[in-house]
Chains A and B, each alone.
Chain A
């Protein structure tokens, strides 16, 4: 069974500070890893998808790295803004499986 852990569970930072969100998984035989954002009462918005053959993906202020052998991914958000306040979830898809296994998420608050 794939276990996905996200640390920290919650994070509060002042505006402008860089954010570092961590995700670890137990089974390194994965197809890909995906980062999502969830606003209160909303569905999940896909942020970045990293295939197992990739080391990182970038989109604007977001950068996600993947170290498959150690079972870790990190999401960096540069120059945080109050609009970045949300819950961030990582999910991995195992080669032996078809469904994404989700972490519990990191709830981020960016203070103006």
Chain B
């Protein structure tokens, strides 16, 4: 696609429910990132994919968070048993791989509100 696409753009859920957030990166981009931005806070790195592999998952806040990427393209971030502190904007970004790494492009984000 022309840019990074994320869905849903907004999600309101009840505490304890599971949510899935989707990211469709720019075509041909092998690197994919998930970041989280809480209200008034900076960007918090969550996870990075190179192809379908996630070399580092240490940024995920807890074991309720998981992510996968299939076919080297679409990625899904899943949050199980959501808590109010999970409320934030979840941003996905992609770039070309290689060295040096390419420019990073972000989607518009998925705003999650946990009631």
Binding site for B on A (CB under 8 A): 31-32, 34, 36, 41-46, 49, 51-52, 89, 91, 93, 98-105
Contacts and interface: CB of A to CB of B under 8 A. Distances in A.
A15 B4 CA distance: 32
B107 A102 contact: no
B101 A43 contact: no
Contacts of B42: 102-105
Nearest to A103: B42
A99 B49 CA distance: 10
B interface secondary structure, majority: strand
B103 A46 contact: yes
A44 B111 CA distance: 14
B10 to A, nearest CB: 10
Given A44-B91, A98-B101, 18 more contacts: A31-B101, A32-B100, A32-B101, A34-B104, A36-B106, A42-B108, A42-B109, A43-B6, A43-B107, A43-B109, A46-B104, A89-B43, A91-B104, A98-B48, A98-B56, A99-B33, A99-B48, A100-B45
A91 B45 CA distance: 12
Contacts, number: 53
B67 to A, nearest CB: 14
Contacts of A98: 31, 48, 50, 55-56, 101
A104 B99 CA distance: 26
B65 interface: no
Interface string B74-92: 0000000000000000010
Contacts of B43: 89, 91, 102
B55 A43 contact: no
Given A99-B45, A102-B43, A43 B99 contact: no
Contacts of B93: 44
A104 B106 CA distance: 17
